[in-house]
Every structure is written in structure tokens, then in C-alpha cells.
């Protein structure tokens, strides 16, 4: 049986001829089983010549070129559009200098009367894989920090509060430092974070916590999305789908991140007043993408 490493070398040597890796094949079979060409469909837009809208749309349609096999690269294109908007809002008058651009954006869409808030509904279906990803970064940033850890932990603390973060460390840090317990610890903390992101009440130690939808959205926008982008941008992680460790859960995680980011971009289209989409259409698009996500990956979300 050819290993993933041998397959990558073969792919290089055979290019421009191409072939699918095992997890890619499994994903395509999964789509065919549900008679779908894609997990994702975009919102229908009215044409506008507005220059700012067209800049964002150009990045958006570039994202579609990587689907269905590379939702991580599709996310990167949507993130470029979002990041441009983060910086635009951050430059606005009256914005505190110590407030991150992610927080400025999340606060803006939560307070705007022009946005659908439809991305709130996605958190209830956050995959365990996404939460395990988040759990590992929280624990590693304390026990094995790098040059980006301080900024990451600051964003986490700002969004969940110092008390919750300290309780997480008290409960999970010692086991994380024991190599034989790391996988189990990551899964247990991932399960806890999934409850938190789903808006459920949790008890850690002597304290009870429950985050409202707005705070959950702030947390996802300020920590999980940028962390997912930054690691690949800096080459810290290997591209996921052509790895021996890749499974359908890998696609579940990446598609959730992509669908969430796209829902945020639709909110930008709304509050910028481009006149290209209505609030109801954004809500319908987000719900439609969530429905297809559950249809395709429903058995993987908790795996």
C-alpha cells in the first residue's frame, strides 16, 4: 500500500496529471451518496458596480474555485476579504486603540440592525474536531508557547474571561503535560469547549459558566478563525487532506470554518449597504449551508 508520503512525491512527479488521495476519494463518494456536487452554495446576489463590493466579491468567487476538495483554501480567500473589512472598521473614528480588529468587527455585526445574525445558529453544530483543535491551542499556548501564543491567549481571555480560562488550566493542564494522557485530555477539553460554544451551561470546579450567542460569536471570530488561518499562513501545519492522518473529520472541521466565514462575509454585504442581498436571503443561505453540512457530515460532527 502506497504511503501518503510516497503519494505526495508521486503527485509531484506525475503533475500535471492528477489523482485523488484516499480521504479525497472518501469525501467525493460521500457527496455522491447524497447526490450533491458541493456542501456549499452561495447566496444569490444582485449586481452592483460598487468598487468596494466588487473587491470583496472578487476574493469570494476565487474561494469557489477550490471547492469541493479544498475548503481550507476557500476559507483563505474569504478571510482575505474579511480581514480587509476588519482593518477598515478598526481605522474608524472612536475605536479604542487597545481593541483588536476581530473584536471591533464582531461587536459591529452584533450591534448593527442591518445584519442577520444568522452565523449565531452555526455554533450549535460546531464539530468536535474544531473544538479539539481549539483545545490543543489553548493548552499548548500555556505549556509549550511560541511567538504567537501570548496574543492568542490574550484574545481567548478577553472573550471567555480570566476565571473560565484559569479553571480550564486547573482542570486540564497537569494531564496535558503527561504524554500518555494528551489525546484523552484534548478530547475531554474539546467536548467541554463544544458545550460552551453551543451555548450550554457548564460547571468547572466550583464555578458555573454560560456564554450568550454574542460572546460565542466573538470567541469564534477572535480566536478559532484567525488561528486556523495563521497556522497555515506561517507554514506551521501540513496541508490536511493529503496526510496519512486525514479523515472525513478533517473535511468536517474545514467546511465548518469555511461556512462560518462565508456567513460573516454576507453580513458585511448587508451592513455596508451594497444593496446586493437582503437580510432574509442571508439567513436562508446560512441555513441552507448548515443543512447540507449536517446532511453530509452529520455522523462526523461528534466523532
- Rounded-to-integer distance, Cα 116 and Cα 286, Å: 10
Mapped onto helix, strand or coil, the DSSP state of residue 115 is: coil
In a domain, 302, yes or no: no
In a domain, 108, yes or no: no
231 pLDDT higher than 90: no
In a domain, 112, yes or no: no
- Rounded-to-integer distance, Cα 31 and Cα 38, Å: 7
pLDDT band at 212 (very low <50, low <70, confident <90, very high): very high
- Rounded-to-integer distance, Cα 63 and Cα 66, Å: 6
Enter the C-alpha cell of residue 193.
469547549
Q: Which residues of 81-92 are buried (b: 16+ CB within 10 A; e: fewer)?
A: bbbebbeebbee
pLDDT digits (tens, 9 = 90+) for 89-145: 999 988 988 899 999 999 999 999 999 999 999 999 999 999 999 999 999 999 999
In a domain, 16, yes or no: no
- Residue ranges making up the domain that contains 213: 4-9+21-93+126-297
In a domain, 154, yes or no: yes
Percent of the chain with pLDDT over 70: 99
Taking a C-beta distance cutoff of 8 angstroms, is the pair 127, 294 a contact? no
- Rounded-to-integer distance, Cα 141 and Cα 135, Å: 10
In a domain, 54, yes or no: yes
Which whole number is the average pLDDT over 57-65?
Answer: 97
Q: What is the pLDDT of residue 3?
A: 86
Residue 210 sits at the vertex; the CA angle it makes with 209 and 213, to the nearest 5 degrees, is: 155
- Rounded-to-integer distance, Cα 77 and Cα 59, Å: 5
Give the gyration radius of the chain's Cα atoms: 20
- Beta strand 202-204 pairing with 207-209: antiparallel
In a domain, 119, yes or no: no
Q: What is the pLDDT of residue 233?
A: 76
User: Could you write out the DSSP letters of every residue in 156-187?
Assistant: HHHHH-HHHHHHHHHHHHHHHTSGGGHHHHHH
217 pLDDT higher than 90: yes
In a domain, 193, yes or no: yes
- Rounded-to-integer distance, Cα 76 and Cα 89, Å: 20
Number of domains in the chain: 1
Q: CA 142, 145, 151, 155 torsion: positive or negative?
A: negative
pLDDT digits (tens, 9 = 90+) for 250-271: 999 999 999 999 999 999 999 9
Average pLDDT of the chain, as a whole number? 95
Taking a C-beta distance cutoff of 8 angstroms, is the pair 291, 49 a contact? no
Single out the residue of 126, 124, 249 nearest to residue 190, CA to CA. 126
Single out the residue of 129, 98, 143 nearest to residue 240, CA to CA. 129
234 pLDDT higher than 70: no
Amino acid at each position: 500500500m502506497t504511503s501518503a508520503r510516497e503519494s505526495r512525491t508521486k503527485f509531484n512527479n506525475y503533475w500535471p496529471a492528477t489523482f485523488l488521495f484516499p480521504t479525497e476519494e472518501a469525501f467525493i463518494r460521500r457527496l455522491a451518496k447524497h447526490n450533491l456536487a458541493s456542501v456549499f452554495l452561495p447566496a444569490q446576489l444582485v449586481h452592483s458596480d460598487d468598487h468596494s463590493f466588487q473587491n470583496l466579491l472578487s476574493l469570494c468567487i476565487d474561494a469557489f474555485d477550490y471547492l469541493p476538495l479544498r475548503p481550507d483554501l476557500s476559507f483563505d480567500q474569504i478571510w482575505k476579504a474579511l480581514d480587509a473589512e476588519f482593518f477598515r472598521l478598526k481605522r474608524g473614528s472612536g475605536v479604542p486603540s487597545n481593541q483588536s480588529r476581530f473584536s471591533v468587527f464582531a461587536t459591529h455585526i452584533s450591534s448593527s440592525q442591518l445584519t442577520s445574525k444568522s452565523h449565531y445558529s452555526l455554533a450549535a453544530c460546531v464539530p468536535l474536531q474544531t473544538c479539539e483543535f481549539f483545545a490543543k491551542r489553548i493548552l499548548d499556548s500555556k505549556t509549550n508557547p511560541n511567538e504567537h501564543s501570548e496574543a492568542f491567549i490574550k484574545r481567548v481571555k478577553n472573550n471567555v474571561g480570566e476565571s473560565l480560562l484559569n479553571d480550564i488550566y486547573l482542570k486540564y493542564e497537569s494531564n496535558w503535560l503527561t504524554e500518555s494522557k494528551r489525546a484523552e485530555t484534548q478530547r475531554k477539553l474539546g467536548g467541554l469547549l463544544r458545550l460552551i460554544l453551543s451555548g450550554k451551561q457548564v460547571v468547572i470546579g466550583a464555578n458555573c459558566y454560560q456564554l450568550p450567542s454574542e460572546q460565542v460569536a466573538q470567541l469564534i471570530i477572535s480566536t478559532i478563525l484567525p488561528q486556523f488561518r495563521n497556522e497555515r499562513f506561517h507554514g506551521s501545519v501540513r496541508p490536511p487532506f493529503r496526510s496519512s492522518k486525514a479523515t472525513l473529520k478533517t473535511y468536517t472541521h474545514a467546511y465548518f470554518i469555511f461556512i462560518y466565514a462565508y456567513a460573516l462575509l454576507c453580513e458585511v454585504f448587508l451592513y455596508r449597504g451594497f444593496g446586493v442581498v437582503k437580510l432574509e436571503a442571508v439567513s436562508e443561505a446560512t441555513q441552507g449551508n448548515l443543512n447540507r453540512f449536517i446532511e453530509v457530515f452529520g455522523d462526523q460532527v461528534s466523532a
